[in-house]
Amino acid sequence: MKNIFKIVSTTILGALLPAILIAGNGERAGTGGATELLINPWARSAGFGGINTAMAKGVEAMNVNVGGLAYTKNTEAVFSRTTWLKGSDVNISAFGLSQKVGTSGVLGISIMSMDFGDIDVTTNDRPEGNIGKFSPKLVNFALAYSKEFSNSIHGGILVRGIQQSIADLNSSGFSLDAGIQYTGGDNDELKFGIALRNIGPDMVMQGDGLMATFTDPTLPFAVEGYRKSQAYQIPSLLNMGLSYDLYFQKDHRVTPMFNFTSNSFSNDLIGLGIEYSYKNSLMFRGAYNSEKNIGDASISPSVYNGLTFGSTIELPLNDKGASFAIDYSYRVTHVYDGTHAIAARITL
């Protein structure tokens, strides 16, 4: 099984790696869709800016590197709430659950929903509104399986359903993720991860919102029909990350990390980060994702300036490894008042 996994993963990566590595292109920004797939709804990994490809574990690995899902010891449940771009009145809720199956496998499920509130319905005839409200919906749900192939190799796959809708238009699709994590060293202090995310078919909008009235000078009457909707691609990407644990007097851990992200519809990212941990009970983390022109608010390709921060308090529940944790993260933005996320996690 281990050899088969190596062959399959090498084949997949070999086939897709060249295409994705040359895909990072800021000139393609805005030409794709389903960009909510790029939003990390989990507070702990958001504190890393999503660069923890090599060391993501448990439920949150499903949005970073699904291979890390295999580190679930028994059961883990996480609920996260994100105030996205504070001041925009957009909130994100996410729930995830992972469960060990057999001796080395782990199943995971997650759901993420974006809440935009109620928006006034307007038309060409009634641009002022006052004719009702609608609430856009963006929902993603995922099912994943990850496996420990050896003490140093963990890998997994994930399928994600995508649902988008407004008052009279909707679109649905799916995407696939695959990820591998390797560990090395006497205490597994060296970690490397690689993940392909959001690989899937094009999506297209459908619904009554595409209906229009057409006139033809050769006909004495108008004809109703549907306008053709242009299909759009989803934002595939490749993550490659490296981290190394440094221990001081056993209770203190400092982990520097590096990550490279190749995006299909935006500039490539280079990320640097660090985490400090005291007895795995109190953790502080920060990261910086570098992108072309990201530091100049007037021409930045992103609403974010690249800086992210986070912290965790984790308390033991018994002597068998069960714990309860609160995670918090903050992402600095050029406009609005940043993105805040807080999560509750229970590990059994």
Number of domains in the chain: 1
Please give the share of the chain, as a percent, with pLDDT higher than 70.
Answer: 91
Q: The domain that contains 209 carries what CATH number?
A: 2.40.160.40
Model pTM score: 0.87
Query: 63 exposed, middle or buried (CB, 10 Å; 0-12, 13-18, 19+)?
Result: buried
Instruction: Provide mean pLDDT across the span 194-202.
Output: 95
- Contact predicate 239/53, CB 8 Å: yes
Query: 229 exposed, middle or buried (CB, 10 Å; 0-12, 13-18, 19+)?
Result: middle
- Residue-wise pLDDT for 232-259, tens only, equals 999 999 999 999 999 998 899 999 999 9
- Contact predicate 129/105, CB 8 Å: no
Query: 105 exposed, middle or buried (CB, 10 Å; 0-12, 13-18, 19+)?
Result: middle
DSSP for 50-70 reads: T--TTT--GGGGGGT-GGGGG
Alpha carbon separation from 71 to 155, 329, 348 (Å, rounded): 10, 22, 13
User: What value, to the nearest 5°, has the Cα angle with vertex 163 and ends 126 and 327?
Assistant: 110
Question: What is the residue range of 159's domain?
Answer: 2-347
Task: Inform me whether the pLDDT recorded for 5 exceeds 60.
Answer: no
Per-residue b/e over 124-161, b at no fewer than 16 CB within 10 Å? eeeeeeeeeeeebebebbbebbbbbbeeebbbbbbebe
Task: Inform me whether the pLDDT recorded for 8 exceeds 50.
Answer: no
Band the pLDDT of 39: cuts 50, 70, 90: very high
